[in-house]
């Protein structure tokens, strides 16, 4: 969905899409050291957004360094889906029930599972910039009909002025990061891509399967940039993506779709979004 032209959220995707970017400001923020995030030192400043339905909460916090300077951070907490193979352990082993209410044949309890069965998925953006805070802040969403002229005069200039750094994309394409997570790669420079799990999927069950395909071709910002020239690339993503998943004994349904203003691969829960340097599916 898109917001009206005057609302900065127009070029942003919803939820915690895979965009682990730093801003493209002239003064680039320092990168993380790759170590463990100091969660215990986080001082929560405010709740950016929360969703009872999705069991997620987005927090803005600050972490004070040894020199006394504080850096902003975005911490996203998300309850993970139930895993069928763990249900027996959840109900039988070291789980405590506390009665809340009882009425005839109906009763309500609070169930307290052991730590290993009460995982909370945590995503961290640190150090975070003001753009990251605005990205995850609760915003009203609107559905609009965008014409070619609207894109040229409103959307494209906004994308060009507000886009985030996509160094994480280059790191994947150049095998500098997450090389062990790659599911499939077609190395062709024009019609090739890398298929990799998104952070939204914990890779433990298929219910929340979520994959992205990052193409090797540069310069594709959105659906508007696609022409007949890109059909071989899109067909490769669809056909090779399905084939690689079948090899892993994953059964998916096929559907054409469009989401977030850019094309979606015709495989359930493989979404396409603008990667800035190329198509991210």
The predicted-structure confidence for 91-105, as pLDDT tens digits, reads as follows 877 678 888 888 788
pLDDT at position 277 is 43
Statement: residue 242 has pLDDT above 50: yes
The residue-averaged pLDDT of 148-164 equals 82
Which one, of 231, 232, 216, lies nearest residue 275 by Cα? 216
For 7-35, what is each residue's pLDDT tens digit? 333 333 333 344 444 333 333 334 444 46
Return the SS3 of 44.
Answer: strand
pLDDT at position 166 is 78
Distances (CA, A) of 150 to 34, 153, 164, 189, 222: 41, 5, 22, 31, 14
pLDDT at position 281 is 40
pLDDT at position 17 is 44
Whole-number mean pLDDT of the chain? 74
The residue-averaged pLDDT of 100-119 equals 84
Which residue intervals of 174-266 are DSSP H helices? 231-247
Identify any residues that bridge with 73 across adjacent strands, giving them in sequence order.
61
Distances (CA, A) of 185 to 31, 180, 188, 196, 210: 27, 12, 9, 9, 17
Statement: residue 269 has pLDDT above 80: no
The residue-averaged pLDDT of 162-173 equals 79
Q: Which residue in the block uniquely carries the two structure tokens 């009425």?
A: 103
Statement: residue 84 has pLDDT above 90: no
pTM: 0.51
Statement: residue 82 has pLDDT above 60: yes
Statement: residue 202 has pLDDT above 60: yes
All residues at 6 or more sequence positions from 165 whose CB lies less than 8 Å from its CB, including other chains: 21, 22, 23, 24, 28
DSSP-derived letter for residue 168 is H
pLDDT at position 248 is 67
Name the band, by pLDDT with cuts 50, 70 and 90, for residue 237.
very high
Tokens representing residue 251 in the block: 């059964």
């Amino acid at each position: 969905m898109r917001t009206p032209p005057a609302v900065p959220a127009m070029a942003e995707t919803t939820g915690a899409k895979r965009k682990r970017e730093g801003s493209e400001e002239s003064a680039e923020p320092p990168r993380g050291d790759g170590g463990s995030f100091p969660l215990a030192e986080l001082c929560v400043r405010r709740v950016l957004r929360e969703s009872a339905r999705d069991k997620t909460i987005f927090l803005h916090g600050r972490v004070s360094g040894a020199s006394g300077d504080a850096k902003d951070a975005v911490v996203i907490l998300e309850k993970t889906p139930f895993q069928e193979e763990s249900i027996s352990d959840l109900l039988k082993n070291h789980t405590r029930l506390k009665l809340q209410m009882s009425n005839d044949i109906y009763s309500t309890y609070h169930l307290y599972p052991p730590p290993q069965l009460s995982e909370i998925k945590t995503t961290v953006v640190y150090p975070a910039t003001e753009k990251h805070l605005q990205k995850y802040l609760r915003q009203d969403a609107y559905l609009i009909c965008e014409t070619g002229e609207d894109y040229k005069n409103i959307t494209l200039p906004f994308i060009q002025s507000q886009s985030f750094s996509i160094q994480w994309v280059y790191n994947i394409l150049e095998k500098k990061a997450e090389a062990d997570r790659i599911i499939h790669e077609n190395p062709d420079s024009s019609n090739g891509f890398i298929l990799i799990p998104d952070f939204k999927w914990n890779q433990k069950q298929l219910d929340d399967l979520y994959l992205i395909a990052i193409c090797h071709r540069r310069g594709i910002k959105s659906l508007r940039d696609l022409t007949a020239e890109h059909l071989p690339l899109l067909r490769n993503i669809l056909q090779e993506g399905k084939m690689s998943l079948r090899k892993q004994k994953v059964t998916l349904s096929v559907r054409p779709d469009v989401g977030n203003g850019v094309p979606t691969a015709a495989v359930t829960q493989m979404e396409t979004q603008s990667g800035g340097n190329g198509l991210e599916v």
